[in-house]
Structure 1
Amino acid sequence: MDDIDRKLLTSLQQDSRLPNAQLAEKLNISASSCWRRVKALEEAGIVERYAAIVNPKQMGLRFEAIVHVHLTRHDTEALARFIAAVQRREEVTECYATTGQADYHLRILCRDIDAYNEFLEGFLFVQPAVNSAQTNVVLRRIKANGPVR
């Protein structure tokens, strides 16, 4: 990857709907060269997909939290069941396995505190591998969806 590829990736992350001609002009390269570079980045797996960034509040999802999950069981089968269950829940928009005190960190979006309580009681706390969870309510976003450079 060279500097043009990096600038191309930054531009795509800012607005993936830019027409190829505009993108090429912005990078001061030919349209055909730009198209080839984009295709090469896609084929290399650097560009995984294109997506719309949605405003959760405009979708009625006014409650956001980061949940730190502590497991009691770490055997392969229990972990696989926990991960599969988390992947099926629409409230979980992101999930990370991490080092440190908590085993997993979940980003949760739902309509309100009542919906979040339903998520906890009806889903998270009934998972056999879950020992406990600590919730940090997001008061406001400072930075999100920043470009990868």
Structure 2
Amino acid sequence: MLDPTDLRLLNVLQKDAHLTAQELGEMLNLSPSQAGRRRQRLEAEGYIKAYVARVAPDRLGLAIQAFVQVQLGIHGPEPARDFARLINSRSEVTGAWTLTGEADYLLRVYCADLGALHRLIHEVLMPHPSVTRVQSQIVMDQLKQDGPLPTDTP
């Protein structure tokens, strides 16, 4: 069970995971050892899954961000596993979700240019035997960066 201090700690760490136990303690009105123990407990209990760096796509030459909706014509466990293997093998696919509604999957992709996006769609996704439809939307501007999860709701 999370108490309000745990929720504040999660909120603070989502914004800056480099904070020391000393800094966390000062922010949360805890001793450094208490702050450190709480962080370790949240890690051990699976609330904190990983610490990662957020890299600037444009600095890596990834000028195109797009969302790609994929509809399968063949459904079942094996086609789903086969499609999951395909998208997990592609580094340009940075996120993938199964959906309700017309599309079966939503993929978030980053590509160097429109040609790379075109090749991903027409040479990788469309030839998959289960895929019947692919629709892409190119991101023009990201108004809000991927942010921390809300910790103020139960």
Q: For this structure pair, what is the TM-score category when the shorter chain's length is used for normalisation?
A: over 0.9
For 1:121 and 1:98, locate their aligned partners in 2 and report how far apart those are by CA, in whole Å. Answer: 22
Instruction: Report the alpha carbon displacement of residue 120 of structure 1 after superposing the two structures with TM.
Output: 1.1
In the alignment, does 2:119 pair up with 1:123? no
Partner of 2:45: 44
1:117 is paired with a residue of what secondary structure? helix
Identity %: 36
RMSD of the TM alignment (CA)?
0.8
For 1:94 and 1:58, locate their aligned partners in 2 and report how far apart those are by CA, in whole Å. Answer: 20
Partner of 2:88: 87
Structure 2-normalised TM-score?
A: 0.94
For 2:101 and 2:47, locate their aligned partners in 1 and report how far apart those are by CA, in whole Å. Answer: 29
Q: How many residues align?
A: 149
Deviations 1:43-91 (A, max 9, x none): 1111000000011111110001001111001111111000011011001
In the alignment, does 2:33 pair up with 1:26? no
* Superposition misfits of 4+ residues, deviation over 4 angstroms: none
1:109 is paired with a residue of what secondary structure? strand
Deviations 1:90-145 (A, max 9, x none): 01000000111110000010100011111112210111111111111101111222
2:68 is paired with a residue of what secondary structure? strand
For 2:99 and 2:16, locate their aligned partners in 1 and report how far apart those are by CA, in whole Å. Answer: 31
2:109 is paired with a residue of what secondary structure? strand
Q: What are structure 2's unaligned runs of at least 5 residues?
A: none
Counterpart amino acid of residue 67 in structure 1: V
Output aligned runs, 1:1-149, within 5 Å.
1-148=2-149, 149=151
For 2:75 and 2:145, locate their aligned partners in 1 and report how far apart those are by CA, in whole Å. Answer: 31
For 2:46 and 2:109, locate their aligned partners in 1 and report how far apart those are by CA, in whole Å. Answer: 27
Counterpart amino acid of residue 103 in structure 1: D
Counterpart amino acid of residue 26 in structure 2: E
Q: What are structure 1's unaligned runs of at least 5 residues?
A: none
